[in-house]
Amino acid sequence: MSDGPDRRFADAVGSVPILEAMEIRLVEVRSGRAVAELPPEPNVNHFGVTYAGSLFSVAEMLGGVLSLATFDLEGDLAGFVPIVKESTIRFRRPALGVVRAETLLSDEEVARVRRDALETGKGEFVLEATLTDAQGEVVASTAGTYQLRRL
């Protein structure tokens, strides 16, 4: 991918109406890395602070798009789907303005998950995401446990 997230990833977000309603925008999606932005409206509460559930969602959905971009779910991992098992979010400070969520999965982890999935039918991994405001201050962080599972 040379110039930003391709159609496939945007379609994955657009297929969940409530994610589309949050107006989440994919900024960068490639193997091992996913970044998205969440605008304030319609995600703010009556104090003008971005609602906890929208912060959770923008971080959580990165696990899905990162999986699509990282694992060859139409090739050697055809028949596998990414599912989220558990997720923890820590709120650090009130989130004001556009929030950026980023996550990374190392090449070593990608190789291990792929191997585990092919050998056992299940590849589990933990994705940590960091949510920052326009000033680069961390407003929240998440750790999600995902599995690639054979359907």
Residues forming the site for a second copy (CB under 8 A): 15-19, 21-22, 41-46, 51-54, 56-57, 60-61, 83-91
Identity of the residue, 43 or 70, whose beta carbon is nearer to a second copy in the bound complex: 43
* Helix count and strand count (H, E) for the chain: 4, 6
What token pair was written down for 60?
A: 């959580």
d(CA 25, CA 58): 9
Q: How far is the CB of 149 from a second copy (least distance, A)?
A: 12
Q: How far is the CB of 59 from a second copy (least distance, A)?
A: 9
Burial 64-91 (b: 16+ CB within 10 A, else e): bbbbbbbbebeeebeebebeeeebebee
Q: How far is the CB of 14 from a second copy (least distance, A)?
A: 9
d(CA 139, CA 37): 13
Identity of the residue, 50 or 132, whose beta carbon is nearer to a second copy in the bound complex: 50
Identity of the residue, 44 or 104, whose beta carbon is nearer to a second copy in the bound complex: 44
Q: How far is the CB of 47 from a second copy (least distance, A)?
A: 9
